[in-house]
Chain A
Amino acid sequence: RKEVEQDPGPFNVPEGATVAFNCTYSNSASQSFFWYRQDCRKEPKLLMSVYSSGNEDGRFTAQLNRASQYISLLIRDSKLSDSATYLCVVDSSGTYKYIFGTGTRLKVLA
């Protein structure tokens, strides 16, 4: 089993739709969780951290479920500019060595 698993997609959604991605992780001792966004042929950029209590940043909501070992990302009112690959990231050792998922590709259609 991979340490971090994501559905590769692609998720094709119309503008204005709500879309959700899940990511599962295998190490129950994992301590830090993040969502990164990667545009085509660009470097990954931090989208948001994922806290145990859940957190929201505008149209984006991230949640952590430790019992089931998954994190989620919800995007409301999708924009064309949200089209990208979303990477789930887990710091499983607490030593700043991150494990990256292979990413979920989102395409928002006009």
Chain B
Amino acid sequence: SQTIHQWPATLVQPVGSPLSLECTVEGTSNPNLYWYRQAAGRGLQLLFYSVGIGQISSEVPQNLSASRPQDRQFILSSKKLLLSDSGFYLCACYHSGTSGNTDTQYFGPGTRLTVL
């Protein structure tokens, strides 16, 4: 089964600073990958998803961007962080049909971002 790595685990950044969060996946190839944000006390908001290298779909207009330079690497970036960018950022991978696992999205451990 696949393993999803995210780093850093926690991050404190000043307003206006850049951001780069990385997600890598092991144990699968050509996965669908997703970035979500969960603000304090709120549900998961889909930010971006990707079905392949260089293919990014944006769900919510904002100051964030995503890139997929390699099959199993998904990066979330910002040029200038806002206070409202604080939250728990989760990378997910859609797993389909092998090793007896349910076809669904599986999450990495997340990055907790605080913008001050």
Residues of A whose CB lies within 8 Å of any CB of B are 32, 34, 41-46, 49, 87, 96-98, 100-103
Contact of A46 among B32, B59, B102, B110 (CB under 8 A): B102
**A46-B106 CB under 8 A given contacts A41-B112, A96-B32, A96-B94:** yes
- Hey, which chain B residues are within 8 Å of A42, CB to CB? 109-110
- Hey, which chain A residues are within 8 Å of B112, CB to CB? 41
Q: Are B49 and A97 in contact (CB under 8 A)?
A: yes
Q: Are A45 and B107 in contact (CB under 8 A)?
A: yes
Q: Are B43 and A102 in contact (CB under 8 A)?
A: yes
Q: Are A44 and B44 in contact (CB under 8 A)?
A: yes
The answer, yes or no, to whether B90 is at the interface (CB within 8 Å) is yes
B15 to chain A, nearest CB (A): 23
**A44-B102 CB under 8 A given contacts A96-B32, A102-B42:** no
Interface residue count on the B side (C-beta < 8 Å): 20
The answer, yes or no, to whether B105 is at the interface (CB within 8 Å) is yes
Tell me which residues from 59 to 116 in chain B have a Cβ below 8 Å from any Cβ of chain A. Answer: 59, 88, 90, 94, 102, 104-110, 112
Q: Are B105 and A96 in contact (CB under 8 A)?
A: yes
B39 to chain A, nearest CB (A): 11
**A49-B109 CB under 8 A given contacts A43-B90, A96-B94, A101-B43:** no
Q: Are B44 and A100 in contact (CB under 8 A)?
A: yes
Nearest CB in chain B to that of A43: its residue: B107
Q: Are A98 and B32 in contact (CB under 8 A)?
A: no
Q: Are A87 and B102 in contact (CB under 8 A)?
A: no
A102 to chain B, nearest CB (A): 4
Q: Are A103 and B109 in contact (CB under 8 A)?
A: no
B91 to chain A, nearest CB (A): 9
- Hey, which chain A residues are within 8 Å of B49, CB to CB? 97
- Hey, which chain B residues are within 8 Å of A97, CB to CB? 46, 49, 59
- Hey, which chain A residues are within 8 Å of B102, CB to CB? 34, 46, 49
